Amino acid sequence: DTEVTQTPKHLVMGMTNKKSLKCEQHMGHRAMYWYKQKAKKPPELMFVYSYEKLSINESVPSRFSPECPNSSLLNLHLHALQPEDSALYLCASSHNRARSSYNEQFFGPGTRLTVL
Amino acid sequence: DQQVKQNSPSLSVQEGRISILNCDYTNSMFDYFLWYKKYPAEGPTFLISISSIKDKNEDGRFTVFLNKSAKHLSLHIVPSQPGDSAVYFCAAMRGTTSGTYKYIFGTGTRLKVLA
């Protein structure tokens, strides 16, 4: 199983709503990532979890709150978002090592988020 | 500060010919470089990678070349096929002080292979 799944595929929310994005992988990867991608731009790293601990937070606003309940699951909790937060949110996972054939990231299909 | 750049936003190539996608970087501390392909409404898919200590890696129709002195890498696709039409991202991977790895993506090149 080399798949990363993300739910929901699409999400529309108001600025006062609270919602969560979910990501799951069963490849035994111990590093998991959240990226944000705007149209015609590269994926921008938001958070990295390594062995279920938050390892990197790229100065993301606190209205985005990540959570890694176990080694297979990654959540992104959303609260009081702004319209400019509308984007494709991508989850990825990888082995946590720099070694040939182990360094690729596997991406999920993304959640298309629209904030009204 | 864009550490990884792809200066050609788009490229059109005839089917059967070679596609060459280019990528430049500024940081000498990257450990690996990777190429990803992305279709609309899907996540990026890994294609091929190269270690910073190598200068070439080949996998089927895909070859990546690394020129460390020029801080430049390129992806060659031979022969190009219509199904290769997608956005291609190069990415650079480096370790961090927290013991994990960061991947920094280039701006992407949209490849169109014409039948």
Least confident of A15-19, A101-105, B69-73: A101-105
Minimal C-alpha gap between B4 and chain A (Å): 10
- Residues of A within 8 A of B4 (CB-CB) are 42
pLDDT tens for A66-95 read 999 999 999 999 999 999 999 999 999 998
Q: Are B75 and B64 in contact, with CB atoms under 8 Å apart?
A: yes
Token pair recorded at residue A41: 């731009």
* SS3 category, A7: strand
Nearest to B49 among A56, A92, A104 (CB): A104
Spatial separation of the C-alpha atoms in residues A64 and A20, rounded to whole Å = 10
Binary contact (A103, B49; C-beta < 8 A)? yes
Nearest to A98 among B36, B44, B101 (CB): B101
pLDDT tens for B33-84 read 999 999 987 899 999 999 999 999 999 999 999 999 999 999 999 999 999 9
Q: With cut-offs at 50, 70 and 90, classify the pLDDT of residue B27.
A: confident
* SS3 category, A111: strand
Binary contact (A41, B107; C-beta < 8 A)? yes
Binary contact (B46, A105; C-beta < 8 A)? yes
The residue ranking higher by pLDDT, B2 or A53, is A53
Which whole-number Å values give the CA distances from B40 to A2, A58, B69, B106, in the listed order?
A: 20, 26, 34, 17
Spatial separation of the C-alpha atoms in residues A50 and B94, rounded to whole Å = 15
Mean pLDDT of chain A: 91
Binary contact (B44, A50; C-beta < 8 A)? no
pLDDT number for residue B98: 78
